[in-house]
Amino acid sequence: MPDSAFKTYEKELDGRSINQPAAIFQSFTIAKGTPGFEVGTEEGTLRRQALSMALDRKLVIDAVFDGTRTPASDFTSPVIDGWSDKLKGADVLKHNPKKAKELWEKANKIKPFAGKFTIAYNVDGGHQAWVDAVCNQFKNTLGIEAEGKPYAQFSELRTEVTDRTMKGGFRTGWQADYPSLQNFLGPLYRTGAGANDSDYSNADFDALLTKGNGAKNVAEANKYYQSAQEVLLKELPVFPLWYSNANGGYAEGVKNVEFGWNSAPLLYNVTKK
């Protein structure tokens, strides 16, 4: 579905449209060593929680993406077996501007925030609009300077992330290789993992992931992975934003059209009317 159709396609197709979460998780990350945001410190925890609660994810989705995203309530995706919207600590992902201000002021009593908060993004990926919207929410709710930091190309941004020369926030995301909670967690947050852009390290998280990987069945594994996510919710090594949606439509002459976990239509289910 082309972006130009997002505003109208659901109405025009009248019940023959698809707009459902996909196995794609979007976030932003704060580079390790960014003053005031260190994971595991009191100040860092307060500021991270404040930023997350200052975000009105649905407002950004409606304004920028015409409702074609779904607000994130965890670090995985609703299309994956074991996903839960009842994780302990998930309230930190809900818009709560009053609480956000309180937490930010608490952090300022430890050490006043100085400077400007930035989120780096690649211009060639069409990210400016949502970055600007998010930064405006930080400015309006927390009273801080916040703005996007544009890079002409994705490769330029990734070079600084990989070289660990990036400062402040930067856009991140993950598309599942296979339909498992583990695939959203292990590669991004396990100590020393290749895609761990935040350099996050937590022994409790690693231990829960190991138990999940060694579980006897998927149901047992998912319990450990959910507990591991609750560790992430306490520390917010990244900031969950939204799940990208699978968007599409189908002709009047067919029925039973569904999209799978990987955003592809399940063609074997489609039948003629």
- DSSP letter for 168, please: S
Q: What are phi and psi of 86, to 5 degrees?
A: -125, 30
Look at residue 9 and tell me whether its pLDDT is greater than 70.
Answer: no
Helix extents (H) in the chain:
9-13, 42-54, 57-65, 97-110, 128-142, 154-163, 181-189, 203-213, 218-235
Burial of 114 (0-12, 13-18, 19+ CB in 10 A): exposed
Structural domain boundaries in the chain: 3-272
Three-state SS at 149: strand
Residue 267 confidence (pLDDT): 78
Residue type, 87: L
Residue 257 confidence (pLDDT): 78
pLDDT digits (tens, 9 = 90+) for 157-186: 999 999 999 999 999 999 999 999 999 999
Better-scored residue on pLDDT, 120 or 265? 120
Residue 20 confidence (pLDDT): 73
Fold of the CATH domain 3-272: Dipeptide-binding Protein; domain 3 (3.10.105)
Residue 262 confidence (pLDDT): 75
Better-scored residue on pLDDT, 91 or 265? 91
pTM of the model: 0.89
Average pLDDT over residues 198-227: 98
End-to-end CA distance of the chain: 23
How far is Cα 73 from Cα 240, in angstroms, rounded to an integer? 7
Average pLDDT over residues 29-35: 96
Q: Are strands 116-122 and 145-151 parallel, antiparallel or unpaired?
A: parallel
- The contacts of residue 265 (CB under 8 Å, 6+ apart) are 248, 250, 257, 258, 259
pLDDT digits (tens, 9 = 90+) for 90-122: 999 999 999 999 999 999 999 999 999 999 999
pLDDT digits (tens, 9 = 90+) for 41-54: 999 999 999 999 99
pLDDT digits (tens, 9 = 90+) for 213-225: 999 999 999 999 9
Residue 227 confidence (pLDDT): 98
Percent of the chain exceeding pLDDT 90 equals: 79
Look at residue 25 and tell me whether its pLDDT is greater than 70.
Answer: yes
Q: Confidence class of residue 270 from pLDDT cuts 50, 70 and 90?
A: confident
